[in-house]
Amino acid sequence: MNAKVYLSRKITPEKVLELYQILGVKLPGRVSVKVHSGEKGNQNFLRPDFWKPVVDHVGGTVVECNTAYNGERYTSDRHRKLLSYHGWLGYFAVDLLDEEGPDLVLEIPNGKTIQKNFVGKNLADYDSMLVLSHFKGHPMGGFGGALKQLSIGVASSYGKAYIHGAGDLEKLWTADHDLFLESMADAAGSIVDFFHGQIVYINVMKNISVDCDCCAVAEDPCIADIGILISTDPIAIDQACVDLIYASTDPGKPHLLKRIESCNGIHTIEAAAALGYGSRAYELIEV
């Protein structure tokens, strides 16, 4: 049976919550809510007020992790100051999962490229996860959506470097590119396994730049907003977003596709599907 992916062309905080309710999944126990806090200077990331209705509805704790590069999210102290500056701390309880070590090591026995994933130890405090992703381009991954949030997003600062280096920290930023993409797919699968599939994914196709929210200096959006998608399948929801980009008639589409294709972005989806924790086949249900 194909995975179900629900789509709303209307993009509002209330519509995010409505889609969650339509999906009909109750996340159990203590819910972690993975967001992207946005690098300082970035103009495209989705603000905390946009996510507030759905976060309040699930009663979740917003979680984030520090970066592998020297920016305003590189250390816990800097990151907390940025979380306050961007308004997250004014809306939510926020847990920096890797604020204190040691990292929690997740084994990936069937990983194609990496066999371990390093995440903040506080991940063990949660029973389920709501993954809130801003779907857009990415300078290395080609695009960023649910799979990137599960992998790079949930990894600790050390874990991010480990994924980028495809298991070799000496090759941070210089690893074979497809091995980096496969490492993201491996790491994402370890989070699915950790929560025994108790995860819901929301991708918002708004403010779609070729650059990630981790870029302090990012290009402005190059293509019109498309919609909100929700699913219990991280592979299907990212595939659906890519398909919607290809189906777009917006004149900015070639610029975005150049970024996606030049980075072989689809390979992350291919590698994830080969690992079997989701499917590229889906039923798109517009509501």
pTM of the model: 0.98
pLDDT at residue number 1: 79
Judge whether 227 and 7 are in contact, CB under 8 Å. Answer: yes
The one-letter amino acid code at 126 reads: Y
Among candidate residues 42, 81, 43, the one with its CA nearest the CA of residue 64: 81
Q: Output the CA–CA distances (angstroms, integers) from residue 285 to 5, 226, 236, 247, in the order listed.
A: 6, 14, 12, 16
Strands 199-205 and 116-119: unpaired
Instruction: List average pLDDT for each run of 10 residues in the chain, which is 287 residues long.
Output: 96 98 98 98 98 98 97 97 98 98 97 98 98 98 98 98 97 97 98 98 98 96 98 98 98 98 98 98 98
Among candidate residues 186, 215, 185, 192, the one with its CA nearest the CA of residue 38: 215
Tally of CB atoms within 10 A around 195: 18
pLDDT at residue number 85: 98
- Residue 61 DSSP SS3: strand
